[in-house]
């Protein structure tokens, strides 16, 4: 059975956690340390999660195949984006929305190899950007359409003034968290060191630059009772302190417990605590 959430998570993990490179000649080696291009990545994510993609092999035949198998072709109005949507230029590029809605959406994609070329580079992601996640954007060649799985459930309504409890700390969640922490509100956790990236899979609104974040400093100040330093870096020690605090407040952080890993269960607990006003 098709699993849209599974396809979304595959895209996120492939682009944020794996060292997955870009190469149009080795494009079907879609695994950690392998190679792909934009269309092989999306097609593989769908196939791995139960979708019938027909004979789709590249951007040029994706729309024809998918619209015969439960997907609808919509105008490329990015203000209407929702998780699971495929943004398609029939000739040049494709990506998938993995979180958020409208212009606050976040996408996952395969971009280009480490030399700015389509093929010939080293295996795996040499730059951290050959495959990547980022905010939704207007493609230079234009998006021809949005492909949406018509059987996908509509997003659950969110009470007014609240954020969705979906296990992904995107723009809206981070903005609301920053507001409660009484810091600068831009919806992005800035200045984070890439060495901590494997510990933060559910943190999707983040800037990897390594300089540290004022928001994280404010958070760490509130968590100092758990014996952590205030350095602005969202590393595993800060995640562990966060999990301990959430658990003390009575939130379910999942079966793995206090493990220093900011996954979906911990992110949901954070979102619930934000909705409850715990960080004010």
C-alpha separations of 31 from 21, 28, 34, 99, 176 in Å: 9, 9, 5, 22, 35
CA pair distance 19, 11, nearest whole angstrom:
13
Q: What CA–CA distances, in Å, run from 28 to 38, 40, 65, 131, 197?
A: 11, 6, 18, 14, 25
Pair 110, 92: CB distance under 8 Å: no
DSSP, collapsed to helix, strand or coil, labels residue 225 as helix
Residue in the structure block whose two tokens are 């919806």: 187
How do the pLDDT tens digits run along the chain, 280 residues long?
A: 899 989 999 999 999 999 999 999 999 999 999 999 999 999 999 999 999 999 999 999 999 999 999 999 999 999 999 999 999 999 999 999 999 889 989 999 999 999 999 999 999 999 999 999 999 999 999 999 999 998 755 556 667 789 989 898 988 899 999 999 998 888 889 999 989 988 998 888 888 788 899 999 999 999 999 999 999 999 999 999 999 999 999 999 999 899 999 999 999 999 999 999 999 9
Q: What is the pLDDT of residues 27-52, one digit of tens each?
A: 999 999 999 999 999 999 999 999 99
Structure-token pair, residue 52: 């019938």
Q: What angle do CA 225, 204, 240 make, to 5 degrees?
A: 25
Question: Pick from 101, 122, 100: which is nearest to 113 by CA?
Answer: 122
CB 279 within 8 A of CB 267: no
Is pTM, for the whole model, over 0.75?
Answer: no
Helix (H) / strand (E) element for 62: namely helix 59-67
Using the 8-state DSSP alphabet, how is residue 229 labeled? -
- H helices of 80-199, where? 171-181
- Euclidean distance between CA atoms 193 and 235, whole angstroms: 8
Tokens of 139: 């493609």
pLDDT tens figures, 167-198: 989 888 999 999 999 988 888 899 999 899 88
Cα 94 to Cα 139: distance, rounded to the nearest angstrom: 10
């Amino acid at each position: 059975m098709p699993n849209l959430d599974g396809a979304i998570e595959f895209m996120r993990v492939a682009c944020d956690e794996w060292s997955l490179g870009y190469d149009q000649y080795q494009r079907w080696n879609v695994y950690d340390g392998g190679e792909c291009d934009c269309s092989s990545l999306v097609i593989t994510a769908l196939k791995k999660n139960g979708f019938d993609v027909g004979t789709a092999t590249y951007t040029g035949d994706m729309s024809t195949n998918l619209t015969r198998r439960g997907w609808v072709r919509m105008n490329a109005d990015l203000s209407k984006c929702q998780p699971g949507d495929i943004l398609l230029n029939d000739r040049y590029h494709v990506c998938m929305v993995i979180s958020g809605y409208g212009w606050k959406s976040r996408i996952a994609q395969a971009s280009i190899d480490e030399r700015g070329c389509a093929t010939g580079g080293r295996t795996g992601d040499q730059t951290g950007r050959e495959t990547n996640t980022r905010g939704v954007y207007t493609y230079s060649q234009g998006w021809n359409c949005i492909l949406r799985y018509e059987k996908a459930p509509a997003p659950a309504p969110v009470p007014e003034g609240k954020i969705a409890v979906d296990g992904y700390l995107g723009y809206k969640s981070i903005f609301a968290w920053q507001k409660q922490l009484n810091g600068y509100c831009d919806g992005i956790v800035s200045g984070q060191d890439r060495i901590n990236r494997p510990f933060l899979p559910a943190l999707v609104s983040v800037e990897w630059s390594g300089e540290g974040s004022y928001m994280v400093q404010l958070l760490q100040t509130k968590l100092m009772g758990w014996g952590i330093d205030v350095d602005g870096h969202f590393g595993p020690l800060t995640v562990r302190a966060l999990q301990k605090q959430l658990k003390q407040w009575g939130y379910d952080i999942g079966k793995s417990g206090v493990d220093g890993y900011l996954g979906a269960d911990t992110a949901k607990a954070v979102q619930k605590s934000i909705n409850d006003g715990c960080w004010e």
